[in-house]
């Protein structure tokens, strides 16, 4: 914790900058009312400026996937995939079905890899015995005497035993998760060549050869981790249900209005042709259904509506406005008008200045979705990725495979028999809250979802191999002028790439990953971003006072979104300001 603590009436200023156990340089600045055990005020900041939208201009469009994968060293493949989707649209391409199954398998492995390492080796440090005994010793004492309902699956007798298994560097499940992360990364590399910057994913298809051993090598690894996946779901359910019981009111930690966005994942090659005028249909055919949820209601599953509703606002961001510039795109291919604040028309004008929480304080812009029904610019969040994906898919009732099925109120996930555990059907049900615990719970269910869909994709790929349908690439030429947009789900949520081509070169390119949606500052209407909204006004349950406050409830709220702000930069603090820095990046390095 980097903290400047100052008694301001009854409020204490506290900041965590940078927040550890995430990627990047996120800062959370709060004012805490310890007398009433609540967070009175919260600002989310990033001192990071990357500029990809600036130096993409003038590049060969075919390089876009390789360049944009370097946006992130964690989910770079998601950027490559999304860029390829946008290029397929711009070039008028429909890749062969085998290419789509291979990409789907690679992206499924990525979800399993990233969600596992984040949930079990980073998020669960906040719920481990090592942390809970420092922040809520009474809760740990209760956990010691609480039987674990899922013991028959995961083998842990008490809730405290589960907490001990997540102790960093020591816990058995913590260490097993690291092994699973290695295996799932191998699965990814079988399909996309290199992690995390794919070497075999291109517009028009892939360079991976579809041979029988490709499928069997992936399948043997997948079957080898299914016991872990089944145990993980049971352990997560036990922990989160226990927290609700042990700390009445804990549902308010990280809670915000249900405003969720999902852009969909995993294409169905029998439907998807990447044409904009059929995007409504192939978007709804995705194996994760795109959609926007407002107050528990699914208001659209149409990618055309989702695309046209995107608005990039500034407000508290370190940028000058671009609305006086000429638009790049006035109408979409269906003739619908495109707003000047749409990513197709955005121009980036960085305007560095001193951070001021009353004015501008972050390099993150404020993406919003314009709700034509109300005229509101909605600060959608992704629920860390899995929460929104499961929520929209559950409500839509479209996905129906032998392994994953949407019921209209839940998602049923069927996993085959594994080494020690039998065939198992899991059910994620829509919860009453959008809060920290439910974002975290959804993550492990989506690992199971990804594993189940990987079995489905493997079967489809093997069918193609057996029938001789092994073509993986469609040739193409880059047009002189075109526009394209790609929609995908990065690990932690919505991802879109918007591209404009003129004279055969990139004239404008804007990628919008989940972090700007989740980590945005207050916009030009004064609406806080999701991190800020989830933390501000939430109660504090930690038993420590101001002098030894860890901020564990705040950290659980923020980390539940799976923050990722790549490539942090140093900030110059100036003369005359003293700070105290306490840095324990993996709590538990000195434990034991």
State pLDDT tens for residues 300-329.
999 999 999 999 999 999 999 999 999 999
Could you count the other beta carbons within 10 Å of the beta carbon of residue 425? 11
pLDDT value at residue 49: 79
d(CA 205, CA 198): 13
| Strands 291-294, 259-262: pairing kind | antiparallel
d(CA 291, CA 502): 31
Q: Using the predicted structure, report yes or no on whether residue 592 has a pLDDT greater than 50.
A: no
Per the structure block, which two tokens stand in for 9?
């009436």
Q: DSSP 3-state assignment of 192?
A: helix
Spatial CB neighbours of 574, under 8 Å, sequence gap ≥ 6: none
State pLDDT tens for residues 448-469.
999 999 999 999 999 999 999 9
Burial bucket for residue 279 (CB in 10 Å: 0-12, 13-18, 19+) = buried
Alpha-carbon torsion (370, 372, 375, 376), positive or negative: negative
pLDDT value at residue 7: 52
Q: Please state the pTM of the whole predicted model.
A: 0.94
Instruction: Give Cα separations from 239 to 134, 150, 385, 447 (angstroms).
Output: 17, 10, 20, 17
pLDDT value at residue 442: 98
Q: DSSP 3-state assignment of 165?
A: helix
State pLDDT tens for residues 200-228.
999 999 999 999 999 999 999 999 999 99
State pLDDT tens for residues 222-241.
999 999 999 999 999 999 99
**pLDDT confidence of 1, banded at 50, 70, 90?**
low
Per the structure block, which two tokens stand in for 585?
């990046």
Instruction: Give Cα separations from 40 to 450, 539, 553, 554 (angstroms).
Output: 39, 9, 14, 12
Q: In what order do the strands lie in the sheet with 38-46?
A: 7-8, 11-16, 26-33, 38-46
d(CA 438, CA 418): 27
pLDDT value at residue 518: 96
Q: Residue 467: enclosing H or E segment and its boundaries?
A: helix 436-467
d(CA 501, CA 505): 5
Could you count the other beta carbons within 10 Å of the beta carbon of residue 475? 7
d(CA 27, CA 519): 10
Nearest CA to 475 out of 203, 90, 101, 210 is that of 203
Question: Is residue 50 within 8 Å of residue 365, measured between CB atoms?
Answer: no
Burial bucket for residue 297 (CB in 10 Å: 0-12, 13-18, 19+) = exposed
What value does the mean pLDDT take over residues 327-351? 97
Give phi and psi for 7, each to the nearest 5.
-75, 115
d(CA 445, CA 233): 6
């Amino acid at each position: 914790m980097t903290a400047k603590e100052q008694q301001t009436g009854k409020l204490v200023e506290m900041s965590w900058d940078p927040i550890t156990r995430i990627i990047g340089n996120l800062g959370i600045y709060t004012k805490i009312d310890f007398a009433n055990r609540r967070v009175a005020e919260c600002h989310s900041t990033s001192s990071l400026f990357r500029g990809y939208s600036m130096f993409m201009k003038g590049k060969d469009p075919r390089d876009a996937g390789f360049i944009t994968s370097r946006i992130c060293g964690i989910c770079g493949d998601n950027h490559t995939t999304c860029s390829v989707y946008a290029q397929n649209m711009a070039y008028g391409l429909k890749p062969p079905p085998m290419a789509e199954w291979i990409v789907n398998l690679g992206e499924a492995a990525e979800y399993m890899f990233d969600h596992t390492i984040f949930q079990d080796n980073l998020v669960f440090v906040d719920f481990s015995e090592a942390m809970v005994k420092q922040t809520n010793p009474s809760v740990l004492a209760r956990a010691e005497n609480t039987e674990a309902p899922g013991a028959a699956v995961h083998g842990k007798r008490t809730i405290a035993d589960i907490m001990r298994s997540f102790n960093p560097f020591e816990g058995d499940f913590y260490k097993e998760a690291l092994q699973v992360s290695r295996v799932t990364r191998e699965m990814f590399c079988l399909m996309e060549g290199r992690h995390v910057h794919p070497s075999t994913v291109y517009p028009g298809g892939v360079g991976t050869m579809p041979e029988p051993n490709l499928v069997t090598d992936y399948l043997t690894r997948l079957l080898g981790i299914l016991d872990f996946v089944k145990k993980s779901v049971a352990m997560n359910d036990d922990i989160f249900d226990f927290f609700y019981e042990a700390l009445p009111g804990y549902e308010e930690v990280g809670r915000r209005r249900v405003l969720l966005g999902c852009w969909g994942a995993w294409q169905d090659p029998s439907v998807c042709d990447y044409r904009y005028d059929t995007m409504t249909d192939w978007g709804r055919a995705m194996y994760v259904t795109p959609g926007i949820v407002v107050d528990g209601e699914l208001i659209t599953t149409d990618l055309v509506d989702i695309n046209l509703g995107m608005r990039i606002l500034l407000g508290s961001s370190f940028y000058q406005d671009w609305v006086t510039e000429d638009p790049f795109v006035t109408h979409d291919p269906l003739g619908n008008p495109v707003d000047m604040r749409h990513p197709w028309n955005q121009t980036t004008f960085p305007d560095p200045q001193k951070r001021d929480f009353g004015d501008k304080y972050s390099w993150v812009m404020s993406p919003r979705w314009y709700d034509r029904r109300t005229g509101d610019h909605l600060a959608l969040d992704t629920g860390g990725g899995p929460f929104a994906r499961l929520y929209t898919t559950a409500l839509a009732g479209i996905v129906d495979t032998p392994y994953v099925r949407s019921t209209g109120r839940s998602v049923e996930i069927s996993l085959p028999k594994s080494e020690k555990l039998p065939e198992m059907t899991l059910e994620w049900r829509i919860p009453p809250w959008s809060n920290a615990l439910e974002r975290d719970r959804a993550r492990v269910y989506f690992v199971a979802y990804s594993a189940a869909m990987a079995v489905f994709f493997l079967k489809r790929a093997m069918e193609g191999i057996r029938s001789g349908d092994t073509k993986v690439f469609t040739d193409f030429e880059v047009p002189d002028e075109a526009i394209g947009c790609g929609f995908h789900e990065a690990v932690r949520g919505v991802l879109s790439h918007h591209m404009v081509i003129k004279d055969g070169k990139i004239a404008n390119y804007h990628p919008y990953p989940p972090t700007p949606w989740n980590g945005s500052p207050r916009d030009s209407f004064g609406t806080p971003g999701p991190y800020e909204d989830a933390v501000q006004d939430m109660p504090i349950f930690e038993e420590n006072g101001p002098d030894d406050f860890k901020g564990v409830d705040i950290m659980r709220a923020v980390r539940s979104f799976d923050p990722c702000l790549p490539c942090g930069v140093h900030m110059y603090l100036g003369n005359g300001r003293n700070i105290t820095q306490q840095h324990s990046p993996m709590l538990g390095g000195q434990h034991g």
